[in-house]
Every structure is written in structure tokens, then in C-alpha cells.
Chain A
Amino acid sequence: MFRIIRKSLKTGVVTGHYPDSAAPTPQVTPETAEKAALFRRSLTIREVDTGSCNACEMEMNALANPIYDIERFGVHIAASPRHADALVVTGPVTCNMERALKDAYKSTPDPKIVIALGDCAIDCGAFKGSYAVTGPVDRHVPVDVKIPGCPPRPSEILAALQALMATRR
């Protein structure tokens, strides 16, 4: 018990100790801004992997660590699409995952935001044209926000989400 307390005291507060995002924040269209205005104070995300190399997942997981601590901005990760306001999709859509993505999209209640995370989700990246890939995310479900990068750094994802949540009607 005392060791845990000592460890915590020795470590101190680490939140926010990260370099600022170097990449420009993606633009938010007026239609997306209108949808996003509803979620200004709280946004619940469901992440769907449709064929990524799992680097994007690692960066999404990093957002929950004490350094980025995404919950302090009111962003939560939900376990089910039925509890989500936004879907974050990573990876090119493989032909085996196409159905599952569409099902997850249908299960997310309206109004919803779809975020394509990473180069693969935006234009299939290195897997463009492959027989096993059926296209980027916006070929299957409408995408509102695109966060480029291979993979985007957590600080870049954070900046993009904050830009999305800061929009006003």
C-alpha cells in the first residue's frame, strides 16, 4: 500500500507531457459541424478495425494512457456501436470485413459521425488495388472527418477531435 502511494508521489502528474501536433488539423465541413455541435461536451467513440496493420489501434489505445488522458476532454470509448456517437474506422475495408462494417454502421444510432483514421482508411494506402480490399471507408459508409497519417500520432488525433468538438453551429 505504502509502496503504491510512494510510487504515485514519485511519479507525479504526467498528463499533458507530449509534443504538440505538428500536422495541420483537418478542416471540418459545415454539415459535420452541425452534427458535431450536439456532441460538444461529450463524445462516445466506437472503434472499428476493417483491415489495418494495428498501428492505428495502438495509437487509439495510447490516447487513453495517463499522458494523453482523452477522457478529460469528454471523449469516451464505448464497447458497443449501440452506445456510440461516433465510429472511428481504421484500415482499408477488406472484403471479409465489409459486412461487419456495414452492420456496425447500422447499429450506431443517428445522428452519428464517422471518422476515417489513417491513410489506409482514407484511400487504402499501401493496399490500394489489392484483390482482397474493396475500397476505402467512404465507399461503404459516409465519412465525415478524415485524419491522415500512417499512423497519425496521438497528439494529432487529439487535435483533430478537439477541433471537431470545438465547432459551433
Chain B
Amino acid sequence: MTDADAAVEKLVDVFQHKIAGLSRVLDIPVVSVAKADLVAIALYVHSATGLSGTLSLQWAVDLRPMEPCFRIYYLFSLPGRGAWLIVAIDLPDSDRVYPSITPRIHAAKWYEREIRDLFGLIPEGHPDLRRLVRHEHWPKGTHPLKKDFAWDHVMGRQQGEYRFRHIEGEGVFEVPVGPIHAGIIEPGHFRFSVAGEPVMQLELRHFWKHRGVEKLFENRPLVDGVSLAEKVSGDTSFGHSLAYCEAAERLMGITVPPRARYLRTLFLELERMHNHIGDVGAICNDAAYALALAHASRMKERIMQLADRLTGSRFLRGVNVVGGTAIDVSRTQMDETAREVDSIGRDFGDLASIIFDNASLTDRLESTGVLSERTAWDHGVMGVVGRASNIDRDVRRDHPFAAYADLALRVPVFNYGDVRARVRIRIEEVKESISLIRQVRERIPDGAVRVPALSAPEAGLWALGAVEGWRGEILYYLMAGKGGTIHRCKVRDPSFVNWPAIQFAVLGNIIPDFPLINKSFNLSYAGTDL
């Protein structure tokens, strides 16, 4: 019996009459409940006295072309390796209100606001119902993910103002920053409330780059979604396209050839390496240690040029296709890759020891921007940031995809939760990536790299794709529509989950340390805004 089965048994034991339906979708148990019982059941799944699951994703689907209802899903990650549990509620077409779980489960905070903006479903009892995605100038009643909203609708304008939370008192002042920032980075708005030096409150306002990605997925053929998935967050092009392919392949019942699975592992690790190395340099640069940036960005460039030589794209775009990979890597290229990666590993090892020998740099990094384990768990924080705060989760190990089930992998975890811990996680993961690439070179089997994707799944079926991108767990929920098209695609970049946590990591730090903390999280704005 798996962990998930045990959990479901326990849940059924406690809530016998309240469970409306029990089904399984590709080994994930789905528990349907009535709206009125949702809070009690979700709380049981979440609380430490119950199943201790963290809320990993919450999303809604407009089912009205097939059934007269909206459905909201809650995906929980249970503590056992690889155990997932989904709780679902149905809202009939006439009913737009459902109970909010945010007052007890903080991780739902942004999801519920997002669902309200995109579907017009109102979470009753949510403590903060300001607009999230729809900025104030969007007209009232604009809910783009409802099926009766055209994807190319031309939006009007209205007047409105976002109400920031203010702290009042003697000597308190606010520092607004953005949406356009000083460096070459993406747009977002930060508002600090400061008394003297320490930050008392930070408010984030995002979604400046909302491009309507999830709507653009709808009605496309399933095999066509890959190129759009690559453009969700450019620095994770490969991770996103892989997560999309995993979901689409599971949905269409395709078995990817082993060689393609190994190639995907190789490219995903290359992507992880260049991003982690670049981040280590950039974090040091924000503490005014420019030497590290110069060396790290040089190594990052070497990897990107290597990717360009292997695939014709510095961002590994156009490599993934539903059913495998579009390109193959020859034996000589594989040897070159392994040599280059080894040499970069030695180069980077030198740099890492130089960085940690520097006492004044360590002074800036240590005990700065601490994210406690408790806060991280409450908010469902994941990826590099989570592992620096003792959250031991990694999709590569817990839900193996590509070729990870065949490879030896060590997941580094630290419990300090400060900037230095996040730097160390990155350095350890670069070492792991090099070891994985070496293993891929030794074990890669011969054969085809691609199988045709022909089958059209029945409308209403869905699948989940999960991939450990370099930032953390990327999730794709993909539901088939009529004739092999996409009915709904929910994209979740780890940034969406980790952004709210940054508001807690900066408390008590000074504003000059914010760039350092922000960089050590290094979250994507594009992946959040969609």
C-alpha cells in the first residue's frame, strides 16, 4: 500500500459520510467533497494532527461546455515520498461563492485571489480580497479564464486605485520601488514600510507582465503547446517545456524512448547549472563583490555557448517535443559536454572556495534574510529556497521523471534559511548536476529519440506534469478538450509560491540588504504573472 492510499484510508475513516466521491486519476487519489465540508477536510489534510500535507497547488476549471459547473482542485503533498492527494469541490453555474481556506492554510492566499480574478469565483472569508492579476484599470466583471470570454477580447479601461496597507506612527515612512527597476530585471512593485533602518513591512504587487498565457493555451492542439510553455519563463525554458511534455505524454499515453529520457535529463541539468552559477555570482555582486560576478558570468556564458553548440539555442528551445526530443546528441558531442562540464566544475570549485574565504562577504550573507522552517512550511515554499530552510523536497527524487529513477542523486538540505544557506544549496546542486551529467554520459542507451504523438485523448481527461526546474517544482495541469485540443492548462512556476514568503524573509533586515535577499530567492516575474 502506498503512502497516498494509507492517507486516503485515514481520511475516509474520519470523514465517512462527508466524502461525496473517491476516484483515481493516474495514481493520484481525488477526493470529491461538498462545499460545506471543504474547510474541515482541507484542514485535516493540512494539520500536523491529521495528514500533515502542504498545499502545493490550487486551481479552478470552467467545465461548463461539458458539465454545468466550475470545479476547484486542491493538490496536497503528503510527507511520504511521492504522495499526492487531491481534494475537489464542484460549484454549480449559479453559485459563485465557496469557503476560503486561507485563514487556516496560508499557502492558499494568492491562489484564491487568482481564481477570483480569473474566474469570478469568490472565496468567502478570505482576509484580503484586493485584486491580484486584474489591475485596477481592468473593467469590472472581466474574468478572462471563463469560457465565454474570448481570448482576443479587447479590454476597456476604468479608474481605480490599489489600496496598499499602511503602517502609521511617528517616524514611519514608505519606500515605493518599481514597477521599473534600476537593473536589467523584470517589472514588479515593492513597497517597504520603514522606521529608522529595519523593514517593518514589505508589500509586493506583481502581475505587471500578465500576458494571458493560460488563455492562449486553450483550444490549441495538445502537441502545439510546447512552444508556448517555453515562453512562460525564459530562464527555465527547458524545465517548463519538459513539464508540459510530461503532462501531455501522460495524458496521451505515450511512452518516451529511453534515449530521449536521458537527453532530457542532460539538458535539464545544463539549465540548472548555468542558472545556479549565474546566481551565485549575482548574489555576491549585490554584496559588492564584483570579482565573483565576473568569474561566474564567464562560466555561465561557457555553458550557454555549449548549449548553443548542442541544440542551436542558448536557451535549449525547440528541443522538447511531445513524444521525445527533436534532436540527438552524438557520442563526440557527449564527450565534449562531459569534458567541458568537468572543467567548469573545477573552475567553479576554485571560485566557491574564494567566496567562502572572504570574511567580509560571509558577514553580509550570514544571518541575512532568514526564512524560518515554520514560515517556509506554512507557505508551501519549495525549491532552492525551501531546501535552504530545511524543506526536504525534490521532484527528481520524489516523483522521478525523465531518467532520474535510474540515476544516483543526493539532495542537499540546510536549515539556516539565510542568504548564505541559499548560496550553499546552489553550489552543492551544481556539483550534483555535474555528477548527473557524468552518469548520463556513461549510461545513455542507443535508439530512437522520439515517438509520434498521434492519439487524441477523450475530452475531460487530465494529467499532471511535475518537473524539478532549477528554481523548484514546476507543475502543469493539462485537461484535454474536444479533438485533441487543450481545455485548460494551469501553469505553476515555483516563483508564484515563493514570492509571498519573501515578505517574511526581509522583516527586520535593512533596505540595503533587500537586493541581496531578493537575489538569493531569484524568482521569476514572468513565471508568476503568466
**Which residues of A approach B to under 8 Å, CB–CB?**
3-4, 7, 11, 14, 18-19, 47-62, 64-68, 77, 79-81, 91-92, 94-97, 100, 104, 125-127, 129-133, 150-151, 153
Min C-beta distance of A8 to chain B, whole Å: 9
Whether B179 and A100, one on each chain, are in contact in the complex, defined by CB atoms closer than 8 angstroms, is yes
Q: How far is the CB of A83 from chain B (nearest CB, A)?
A: 11
Which chain B positions have C-beta within 8 A of A58?
234-235, 315
Q: Which of B182, B185, B208, B301 contacts A80 (CB 8 A)?
A: B182
Instruction: Give the chain B neighbours of A65 by CB distance below 8 A.
Output: 294, 297-298, 300-301
Give B residues with C-beta under 8 Å from A: 135, 137-138, 144, 149-155, 179-180, 182-187, 207-213, 215-216, 227-228, 231-235, 237, 291, 294-295, 297-298, 300-301, 304-305, 308, 314-315, 317, 350-351, 353-354, 357, 524-526
- Closest 5 interchain pairs by CB? A55-B234, A65-B297, A79-B182, A132-B212, A53-B234
Would you mind naming 17 contact pairs between A and B with Cβ atoms under 8 Å apart? Answer: A3-B353, A19-B305, A47-B184, A52-B186, A53-B233, A54-B186, A54-B524, A58-B235, A62-B297, A94-B210, A96-B208, A129-B151, A131-B152, A131-B155, A132-B212, A133-B211, A150-B317
Known: A7-B354, A58-B235, A151-B234. A97 touches B208 (CB 8 A): yes
| B298:A66 contact, CB within 8 angstroms | yes
CB neighbours of A19 from chain B (8 A): 305, 308
Q: Known: A100-B208, A129-B151, A133-B212. Contact between A7 and B351, CB under 8 A? A: yes
Provide the residues of chain B in CB contact with A59, threshold 8 Å. Answer: 314
**A60 with B234: in contact, given A54-B524, A100-B179 (CB under 8 Å)?**
no
A77 CB, min distance to chain B CBs, angstroms: 6
When the two chains form their complex, are residues B524 and A55 in contact, meaning their CB atoms are under 8 A apart? no
Chain B: which residue is nearest A45 at the CB level? B184
Q: Are B150 and A67 in contact (CB under 8 A)?
A: no
Contact A62:B237 (CB < 8 A) given known A55-B315, A132-B212: no
A87 to chain B, nearest CB (A): 11
- Chain A nearest CB, measured from B446 CB (Å): 30
- Tell me which residues across on chain B come within 8 A of A49, comparing CB atoms: 180, 185-187, 209
Known: A7-B354, A100-B180, A131-B149. A91 touches B154 (CB 8 A): no
Assembly CA distance A47 to B186 (angstroms)? 10
Known: A66-B297, A127-B211. A56 touches B234 (CB 8 A): yes
- Taking a contact as CB atoms under 8 Å apart, the answer to whether A55 and B144 are in contact is no
User: Which listed residue (A7, A48, A96) contacts B350, Cβ 8 A?
Assistant: A7
B180 x A51 contact (CB < 8 A): no
Alpha-carbon separation in the docked complex, A57 to B527 (Å): 14
- B235 and A130 form a contact (CB under 8 A): no
> Does the CB pair B182–A62 fall under 8 Å?
no
| Sample of 17 further A-B pairs with CB below 8 A, known A3-B353, A55-B237, A58-B315 | A3-B357, A14-B298, A49-B209, A53-B231, A54-B525, A56-B234, A62-B300, A66-B298, A67-B301, A68-B301, A81-B180, A95-B137, A97-B208, A126-B227, A130-B151, A132-B211, A150-B317
Q: How far is the CA of A1 from the CA of B294 in the complex (A)?
A: 16
Q: Which of B210, B216, B305, B314 contacts A126 (CB 8 A)?
A: B216
Given contact pairs A55-B235, A94-B211, A96-B207, A153 touches B314 in the complex (Cβ within 8 A)? yes
Contacts of A56 in B (CB 8 A): 234
CA distance A81 to B181 in the complex (A): 10
Assembled-state Cα–Cα distance A100/B154 (Å): 20
Chain A: minimal CB distance from B299 (Å) = 10
CA distance A122 to B216 in the complex (A): 19
A130 near B137: Cβ-Cβ < 8 Å: no
Please tell me if the beta carbons of A18 and B305 are within 8 angstroms of each other in the complex: yes
Q: Pick the contact of A97: B209, B212, B294, B304 (CB < 8 A).
A: B209
Q: How far is the CA of A80 from the CA of B183 in the complex (A)?
A: 9
User: Which of A96, A97, A126 counts the most chain B CB atoms within 10 A?
Assistant: A96
Check A53/B180 contact, CB under 8 A, given A67-B301, A94-B209.
Answer: no
Closest Cβ neighbor of B142 among chain A residues:
A131
- A residues within 8 A CB of B138? 95
Assess the B526–A129 pair: CB atoms within 8 A.
no
